[in-house]
Amino acid sequence: MAKLSALSDTEISTLAQHGAAPPDVGLSMKTNAAPLLEASLEHISSFNVDLQAQLLQVRAFLSMFNEEVEQSRFYFKLTFDPDITGEARIRVEQCLRDSYKNAASRARVLTDHIGAIKW
């Protein structure tokens, strides 16, 4: 894990290309949860204010990531609709690619934030 966290965005992108699916194959996006954080929200007030804010930001960033996953699922389902053709099909595919990029960006923000938490 330490080796991966030391890589630059460009190096990660290059590494990801080696295992990338063909361009016409969708990703299987999954939402994520933080059950321990959710279950502990009533006790969060015992932490200092900075840590409280950081933990609540994790919750918010995770929620934003999950929204992007749901968006990608929506567009992915549309790619199977035989009635969507021509320009509409092109827009759906572009929206799907954009939703994948947005989810990746949200995941990066989330993991960077978690890594920066001062316990």
Distance CA 77, CA 91 (A): 14
Q: What is the pTM of this model?
A: 0.78
Q: Is residue 14 a contact partner of residue 6, using CB atoms and an 8 Å limit? A: no
Averages of pLDDT over each 10 residues, the chain, 119 residues: 71 70 74 95 93 96 98 96 97 96 96 93
3-state helix, strand, coil in the chain (%, to 5): 70, 0, 30
Q: Identify the pLDDT of residue 1.
A: 52
Task: Give the start-to-end residue ranges of the domains of the chain.
Answer: 58-119
Q: Identify the pLDDT of residue 10.
A: 83
Q: Identify the pLDDT of residue 77.
A: 95
Chain centroid, CA 68 distance in Å: 7
